[in-house]
Amino acid sequence: MLNLVLFGPPGSGKGTQSALLIDKYNLVHLSTGDILRGEIAAGTALGLEAKSLMDKGDLVPDSVVIGMIKSKLENNPDAKGFIFDGFPRTTAQAEALDTLLAELNTAISGMLSLQVDDEELSKRLLLRGKDSGRADDQDENIIRNRIKEYNNKTLPLKEFYGAQNKLQEIEGVGSIEEINQKLCTAIDNL
Ligand code: B4P
């Protein structure tokens, strides 16, 4: 199986690039952000709990997102592989993912980390906020908090995957097509 972690700060292009990669490599796309927004749209109890945190730019509790990923893995027994987009975001999530994949006799093939500076991230998110309707894309303070959460809780995962020799750094500024080419080259060399 080809199991990829697409990694990077908010607005680095994870969702954008995942959409291109799932077609090329025939993978199942698992975006915890998309799943959570689906729960909010459906008005579930989980969605209600998540909304107040997401609107502030805080992370949702590990137990919630790990449970979501577990059920998605169980519901896709015939997948050729997965792209994990926006997951894991904490060390506890990364450890849980390793355990879940080991139970399926598979593992993460590689972590592709998109590098984008903070100024470009804010610019992209505010631009998307003009028509996404997402509260977390419309306010500079909330965007700053999302980047802070990333730096504090998510960035350490580079060391986690680096220690497993699975980290690949990719320049995330440039055209979507150029970045996609770099990602494909890295994936083909895994
Ligand atoms: P996500 O949905 O993961 O939000 P994101 O990081 O903003 O999305 P992404 O990074 O995929 O957006 P993209 O760059 O593609 O998470 C939202 C919230 O959900 C989190 O803050 C948290 O509260 C919660 N959450 C999700 N997962 C969680 C977890 N595992 N644990 C705890 N909480 C969790 O797109 C950004 C914009 O840039 C787009 O408009 C795009 O068009 C543009 N863009 C992309 N590539 C570009 C390029 N090359 N040049 C110019 N613009 C580009």
Q: For 106-151, what is each residue's pLDDT tens digit?
A: 999 999 999 999 999 999 999 999 998 899 999 999 999 999 999 9
Give me the domain span that covers residue 106: 2-185
Residue 190 lies in a domain: no
Given this model, what pLDDT does residue 133 score?
A: 86
**What mean pLDDT, rounded, does the chain reach?**
97
What is the pLDDT confidence band of residue 60, given thresholds at 50, 70 and 90? very high
Given this model, what pLDDT does residue 132 score?
A: 87
Query: Could you tell me the two tokens for 114?
Result: 């998109």
Ligand 1 pocket, residue 72 CB under 6 Å: no
Ligand 1 pocket, residue 154 CB under 6 Å: no
What is the number of domains present in the chain? Answer: 1
Mean pLDDT (whole number) for 64-81: 96
Residue 90 has pLDDT above 90, yes or no: yes
Given this model, what pLDDT does residue 57 score?
A: 97
For residue 16, give the nearest of 172, 186, 185 by alpha carbon: 172
- d(CA 47, CA 38) in angstroms, rounded, equals 8
The answer to whether 124 is a known catalytic residue is no
In the chain, pLDDT over 90 holds for what percent of residues?
A: 98
Mean pLDDT (whole number) for 7-19: 98
**C-alpha distances in Å from residue 15, one per residue of 78, 138, 173:** 23, 18, 15
Ligand 1 pocket, residue 180 CB under 6 Å: no
Nearest CA to ligand 1 atom 39: 128
Given this model, what pLDDT does residue 142 score?
A: 97
Q: How far is the CA of 42 from the centre of ligand 1 (A)?
A: 20
Residue 85 lies in a domain: yes
Given this model, what pLDDT does residue 112 score?
A: 98
Q: Is 71 helix (H, G, I), strand (E, B) or coil?
A: helix
- What CATH number did the domain enclosing 179 receive? 3.40.50.300
Given this model, what pLDDT does residue 2 score?
A: 97
Residue 16 has pLDDT above 90, yes or no: yes
Given this model, what pLDDT does residue 68 score?
A: 96
- d(CA 3, CA 140) in angstroms, rounded, equals 34
